Chain A
Amino acid sequence: MTTLVAVQDVAKDFPLQGGGNYLALKGIDLEIRKGEFISLIGHSGCGKSTLLNMIAGLDLPTGGTVLLDGETVKRPGPDKMVVFQNYSLLPWLTVRENIALAVDEVMPDLSAAERNAVVEEHIAMVGLAHAADKPPLQLSGGMRQRVAIARALAIKPKLLLLDEPFGALDALTRGNLQEKLMQICNEHELTAVMVTHDVDEAVLLSDRIVMLTNGPGSKIGGILEVDIPRPRQRLEVVHHPSYYSLRSEIIYFLNRQKRVKQWQAKPHKVLARHGLEKVNLDLGFIPLAACAPLAVAEAKGFFAKHGLDEVHLVRETSWRGITDGLLDRTLDAGLMPSGMPTWMTAGGHGGDPTPIVTALTLSRNGNGITLASRLAEQGVSSVADYRDYLLRTNRESHTLGIVHPASMHNLLLRYWLASNAIDPDRDVHLQTIPPAQMLADLKDGSIDGYCIGEPWNYRAEREGHGFPIVGDIEIWDGHPGKVLGVREDWALAYPNTHIALTKALLEACRYCADPAHWDELSALLSDRRYLGMKQELIRFGVPDGDRDNPHGTAHTLFFGPGVNRPSRSEHLWILTQLARWSEIPFPRNYVEILERVCSVGVYSTAARELGLDDVSYQRGGIELFDGVPFNADDPISYLNTLSIHQDFSVAEIPVGVPRILAT
């Protein structure tokens, strides 16, 4: 498809009244293909309307150019017609006259009869024949906007620009008009750009959604492709598997923008006290049972005990929030899945490789794989049954949910599938879905199952939507679950704070590990600040010795011999699995990466200062349920022995030399 509009490195600044300039937009690059429907979304004041006006030619960029069909846009014109938010109809003209005004102006070469025909055709197109002779003030908002759309379409623009076209309408009218617009766009293969702040509207109407960051100097923060096939029905798109992930992606983006703005609005001083370089910390977590050590350290005063007076726990809705928070330094440290430190260090998040350090493994186990109850009704009760079921129904698409590509859930689920001769990329489709969404997806049948930590397996079972097919201790008993992660430059800048944080959390882990405290923990985590759900749904496991029901129960380990010490061989295993599924290339410099990711020294110091003599303990070799040994001395040969894998590559990861955060 050919490019219709090219926005090239566009910037816009406005002179301020008191002198100086306000930079609204900066470095905007966007190509719009013919026939595409693009939405611009962002918070108010992010410059999305300004961008639209520049494409329309109503405003000129102060840097860069906008090309329409290869020609620079210098002035507005009927080839790029705008539908304004407040309709912009002339109140002294009737509906027909309003449309005729545009047609007469733009198509002077047609005869009067032909122009009339165009006007009548478009009045009929938006279904307003009965109101053609009324002035706009006698019409409802929805009808007025239909007139505005008819006027815009009547002059056959190359490009239709819509500035929050349905913003002022009630929900019902908005829905009808959205469908009408979609239908017209499909029939006439229109190219359109729409500014909106309505997430659902953007997903419903768009081929691509352009998300703008907050100003000043707004940029394109991301572009989402909407892969929902057309023609779309407003009530049906919500059942498409992509719908909610797109929706949550946008909402995540908008929330992230808001949080960054709030964070920037606060003063951020580094408070040094008690011989620690920084005592005010923002710690990110997501609401899972495994966040217990953080909640306990806060509630039981372990942070304060080790001198960290001002620790704020920041609840994120997805692991991505932790990644982004560390990247833009709005978080000091975060609870993260054990694969994330190596994944981010190797650049798996898509940006520059960002060295992440982990000095503490916060939990092990506690995960499981749940399949939908409707599969049990089809006779699926083991992995062999599931494989048969997949073969039987191979025409249907089978989606399994994971929370994050770098989480142990993804790696364990893939390992388990692959070892049971199910290719996780060909036989099924793995999709990243926020935990809270998984249960709903399981319920309405859009996914087959998921691999996740508590409480989501137990909840699915209890509420009758799913059943546990396998527990993590049957795949890899004692696998690392969640770890503490910080940026390497942060760890180097605040070494004593890092040790204090490790000590506080290690003590919290010890507290969490005592089964006598589990009721208290459940009560604590059920608070709205953490998980915000019923206490009885939050479980950590059964007391030692009772392992009768290995795949039904969580067996979370928080503390014990070899539990908390970061292990290089485990992280190496994670690196091989991430490479196996092409999340990252396998790093040729893996020894250096492991050396920098696993901060055994900080852990040892913290443990020794707490009087916990754990230093000499080593976990045994890594061997999962299939009995294939993991050879830590030759990871590349190990990778090559695995039968199911993606085409992995081996590459040097440019992690640079360790640098201290400039403060």
Chain B
Amino acid sequence: MTTAPSSGFNLAQWWKRSRKTILPPLFGIGGFLLFWQLSASLGLTKLSGPLSLWTEERTRDLLLYPFFDRGGLDKGLFWHTLSSLSRVALGYTLAAVVGIGVGIAVGLNQALNRAFDPLFQFLRMVAPLAWVPIALVMFQQNQPAAIFVIFITSIWPILINTAEGVRQIPQDYRNVALVLQMSKKRFFTKILIPSALPYIFTGLRISIGLAWLAIIAAEIVMPGTPGIGFFIWDANQNGYVSDIVLGVIWIGAIGLILDRLMAWLQTRIATGR
């Protein structure tokens, strides 16, 4: 038997080790795409198959050239995404600031908690879309209304988790503060925030997903501004089914990246419990 070259040997080793983690998702995704393409080709559904992203010339252009800008609303997907993301950034930041602030207040104060918790639990259940008409009435303009929808959708997990994190500060840590006679301010910065941080980050991570969901919904019903939601709405109006598919894939990918980003931040900042 001849000895295999070392690089080839390593590859075989690597494949042996990782095939269990690589093969199943490949089969899963491949199988799903195949099923989708077959059902589209056989006419089982009017939805165009995944191959249409490439076969439709208009869609292929959109896929290959995300950075074009022909003025007005005729832009590449990157620009649509950027304006959506900037709205999310605004609404989400606002939600984070208000959510963490109110969460701490509610977590520290039993009476406040009793007063507002039912309200929070109730508002939390309202779907993002239901907020759109209310937001439009409140602000009379698309841009602030969209930001408000993001804000009101994504605030609840942050608020509720923060409040829980503050309530869950171990009595031991509180006793340390008590025995050392810490000032309120020092307690806040030295004990409360570090102790509640993991909870706060859990809330932030759940919320970023919700915020991204909300922006699409808001843009679809509030057309006329650039954004990925508008892009889908526009394609829908024009009957470009493959464009819609592309938009949806784009949305999923961005959402996934946002979530990973928050997860990474979480492990970086909120370690040690």
Contact = CB atoms under 8 A, between A and B. Distances in A.
B190 interface: yes
Interface in A276-334: none
Contacts of B176: 88, 90, 102
Interface in A59-76: 75-76
Interface in A67-100: 75-78, 80-82, 84, 86-88, 90-93
Interface stretch (B113-121, B138-146, B179-187): B179-187
A58 interface: yes
B230 to A, nearest CB: 44
A457 B115 CA distance: 77
Main secondary structure of the interface of A (DSSP, over half): loop
B173 interface: yes
Contacts of A80: 179
A88 B178 CA distance: 12
Given A101-B190, A135-B272, A137-B272, A90 B179 contact: no
Contact of B182 (A58, A93, A105): A105
Contacts of A88: 172-173, 175-176
A84 B186 contact: no
Given A92-B272, A105-B180, A105-B182, A58 B175 contact: yes
Contacts of B273: 91
Contacts of A90: 173, 176, 190-191, 194-195
Contacts of A135: 272
A223 B165 CA distance: 44
Interface in B106-141: none
Contacts, number: 54
Given A84-B175, A90-B176, A76 B272 contact: no
A56 B176 CA distance: 12
A601 to B, nearest CB: 65
B272 A82 contact: no
B175 A105 contact: no
A478 to B, nearest CB: 67
Interface string A154-177: 010000000000000000000000
A105 B272 contact: no
Contacts of B179: 56, 58, 76-78, 80-82
A88 B273 CA distance: 12
Nearest to B183: A105
Interface in B137-196: 172-173, 175-176, 178-182, 186, 190-191, 194-195
A325 B152 CA distance: 71
A529 B197 CA distance: 60
Main secondary structure of the interface of B (DSSP, over half): helix
A181 B178 CA distance: 24
Nearest to A163: B175
Q: In the complex, which range does the number of interface residues on chain B fall in?
A: 10 to 19
Contacts of B172: 84, 86-88
B181 A77 contact: yes
A128 interface: no
Contacts of B272: 91-92, 135, 137
Contacts of A58: 175, 178-179
B197 to A, nearest CB: 8
A484 B134 CA distance: 92
Interface string B54-72: 0000000000000000000
Nearest to B198: A92
A106 interface: yes
Nearest to A137: B272
B179 to A, nearest CB: 5
Contacts of B195: 90, 92
Nearest to B273: A91
Interface in B4-28: none
A82 B176 CA distance: 8
A75 B186 CA distance: 18
Interface of A: 56, 58, 75-78, 80-82, 84, 86-88, 90-93, 101-102, 105-106, 135, 137, 155
14 contacts: A56-B179, A58-B175, A76-B181, A77-B179, A78-B179, A86-B172, A87-B172, A90-B176, A90-B194, A91-B272, A92-B197, A101-B190, A102-B180, A106-B181
Given A78-B180, A81-B179, A90-B195, 12 more contacts: A76-B179, A78-B179, A82-B175, A84-B172, A88-B172, A88-B176, A92-B194, A92-B195, A102-B180, A105-B180, A105-B186, A155-B180
Q: Which A-B residue pairs are the 8 nearest by beta carbons?
A: A88-B172, A92-B194, A105-B180, A76-B178, A76-B179, A92-B272, A91-B272, A88-B176
